[in-house]
Amino acid sequence: MEYNQLGNTGILVSELCLGTMTFGGKGFWESIGKVPQDEVNKLMKTALDGGINFIDTANAYSEGLSEKMLGKSLNDLGVNRQQVVVATKVRIRMGPGANQVGLTRSHMIDSVNESLERMGLSYIDLLYIHGVDPLTPLEETMRGLEDVVRAGKVRYLGISNHPAWMVAKANAIAERNGWTPFCAGQYYYSLASRDIEREVIPMIEDQGMGLMPWSPLAGGFLSGKYSREKEKAGNSRRDDFDFPPLNKEKAYDIIDVMLEIAENHQVSAAQVALAWMLRKPAVTSVIIGAKKLDQLNDNLASTKLQLTGDEINQLDEISALTPEYPGWMVQRQMHDRFMNQ
């Protein structure tokens, strides 16, 4: 397991991050996973023994149950708090009240207090805002985040599912006021969906932030369980929860290449998808999730898989984005900046 710098901070996080969306399985989240506490503890121990020091949860996962189970597992396993980096999130609705949702200063303060109570922790290492709140001004959101940082309840800030311009604007607001900027971005990124390469990744690199891809297997679609001949896996959450969206015809072409490479190395298709992502320069830590130990162990093994340059090129080519404006114009106009072209 390798460890990478968390954005422009001095904190080091493992190249794989254990996601906890499968913990509990309450309400809407039941279709994603229903891992009970004893199995949660086994997954956590295996991850920690495998070198993972970065755990990702969210207050909304299983309506708070995921956070509770994570906190209990850390306690049950006797984990030294200083040896793990715990991330959680705020934004999604947490109750029936009109203001129990969003990125208002009020809701964020309440949510952080509730997350700490559920997890039994005194601080959160990394707090993400989980998505866009169109009603709350960015200035209020950044002020609320600064409040929880200065209170000692949160140490670092991250952002998820926001357009690039919003992140840059938010960081500019923080810089202008002497507040804490975002050091990490969590975004959907996989071989089957490289959309963030257009605007988000250039912004991440420009702002000196770390990138934490979520759903690197496209909700299980790139696990090797699916093909044109097998549209239902029978044991995957995608069978009942077809998310995140993707171009399945293109994904099948990608899977064909992945399976050939996997056979050459005698590994799973999932390991190929993860190994490809781990080699991307902007990526800090890839978020993996599992319902069973064999899935987790297979994912952990991806850190040892060394793809050849030719194999990476094959995957890059089959999954390449269609050029879009203004990107293709920027590329075209670069040529006259060099005297020899």
> Among 187, 217, 186, 201, which residue's Cα sits nearest to residue 88?
186
- Answer for the pair 13, 85: CB distance below 8 angstroms, yes or no: yes
* Gap between the Cα atoms of 196 and 217, Å rounded: 15
* Contact predicate 215/244, CB 8 Å: yes
- In the chain, the largest separation of any two C-alpha atoms, in whole Å, equals 65
Task: Provide the 10 A C-beta neighbour count for residue 120.
Answer: 13
| Cα–chain center distance at 2 | 17
The rounded distance, in Å, linking the Cα atoms of 167 and 31 is 31
Please answer whether residues 35 and 235 qualify as being in contact, where contact means their C-beta atoms are separated by less than 8 angstroms. no
The DSSP bridge pattern shows strands 85-90 and 54-56 to be: parallel
* 61 noted as active-site residue: yes
The catalytic residue among 3, 61, 128, 252 is 61
Distance of CA 80 to CAs 5, 74, 85, 299, 300, Å?
A: 20, 8, 11, 24, 22
Segment 334-341 long-range contacts (CB within 8 Å, at least 24 positions apart) = none
Give CA torsion, residues 157, 27, 243, 221, to 10 deg: 100
For residue 125, give the nearest of 84, 178, 90 by alpha carbon.
Answer: 84
Q: Which residues are catalytic?
A: 61
